[in-house]
Structure 1
């Protein structure tokens, strides 16, 4: 195996054409994953709370929209965002933003159901006890129900972040030069080392996803650690 193909192109793998061109490669993949993960977490949390609390037509609309997003392939949603958003808003939207939006919408829809299920899983007596202690319904949700629900659904958040990180590789379809895109450019240029190139790509994704899982476990352990004093 010729590892020189990786070392000779390592800077290109890491940052793409930057600084002579736009940032790409592994750096862009990490930024896409982190940005979309934060957006999806915020969206999923708000959406899940709304699903758990709302009733009637609003609940049906929230549920139907989340089901629609979960049913649409991520690749198709990227196409829709990339081609339709400029038409709707009459502005040129960068491919990176359309990828962020598509990933955040899909992941947010999945997380919304996880949050709603986590809130529903908290025993009803917890809410009743909180109200009996003088808390308002909003305070009961914030201080009693939501902390318990989030501990339950935390693994779902971590798992969705791992999935989202891998899905950033689909951004190549709209010309975003993330890690897989630049790896394919290296492979097309060299032509005779696909095993080395894509083995390196697989190893990097393995390390990235393992790092996300490790961080998720550390954060959960930190929240459960006893406080001194």
Structure 2
């Protein structure tokens, strides 16, 4: 019979794991959106070299599993830094995972941003240019604000996916929420109870966030 009585005493360590998960989520989304926006601008550029480079980046990272990216950065980043600096530079699991999330999610955020920009009527750009704005000013002051308003639900939906994907950091030993629950359950001898509890937490948070995204999407549509 399942016994969940040990979970309340373990909440402090589980909260620490959740804090780390949320840190990865926030920094990963912020970095991914920033890099994804740059990639989207490159893909829409009239310069074939920039467009092809951005397209190659997006197609590559969308064709490989995230777990592979996490482990690759964990082992490769210190090796690359050693080749550049000639010294052993400790990077740490958190930094490696964060870099992996930013690089990987940027490929998906890029396509969301690109679709958002392309959804804006061309008349908006023409009107801004008629006022004497440069291309950069048009994008920064007119097109991107309108595009981000339209694509906010998609960005948030991708963020929910990233929240679930943060559980993959177990592969490099990072103690996120899921790994903390699994480890605590193994120590106490109740692995099933702690994994069920972790699954319920992920479900409640993800499902609640999805409902909020749907409500936001309806408001923006109106």
TM-score range for the pair, normalised by the shorter chain length: 0.7 to 0.9
- Residue in 2 aligned with 1:206? 203
CA distance in 2, matches of 1:137, 1:35: 29
Cα contact 2:157–2:213 (8 A) shared by 1 = no
Cα contact 2:36–2:110 (8 A) shared by 1 = yes
Alignment coverage as a number of residue pairs = 215
Structure 1 counterpart of 2:177, from 179, 188, 199: 179
Change (3 A) 1:219 1:89: farther
The residue correspondences of 1:59-138 to structure 2 (distance < 5 A) are 59-90=51-82, 91-138=89-136
* SS of residue paired to 1:7: helix
- Residue in 2 aligned with 1:37? 29
Residue deviations 1:167-186 (CA, integer Å, cap 9, x gap): 11000100101111111112
CA distance in 2, matches of 1:208, 1:150: 24
Residue ranges of structure 2 left out of the alignment (5+ in a row): 83-88
Residue deviations 1:160-207 (CA, integer Å, cap 9, x gap): 11011111100010010111111111222233450x212210122123
Could you say what the CA RMSD is over the residues aligned between the two structures, in angstroms?
Answer: 2.4
- Residue in 1 aligned with 2:85? none
CA distance in 1, matches of 2:147, 2:211: 21
Cα contact 1:5–1:193 (8 A) shared by 2 = no
Deviation at 1:219, TM superposition (A): 7.7
Deviation at 1:119, TM superposition (A): 1.0
- Residue in 2 aligned with 1:18? none
1:144 aligns with 2:142: yes
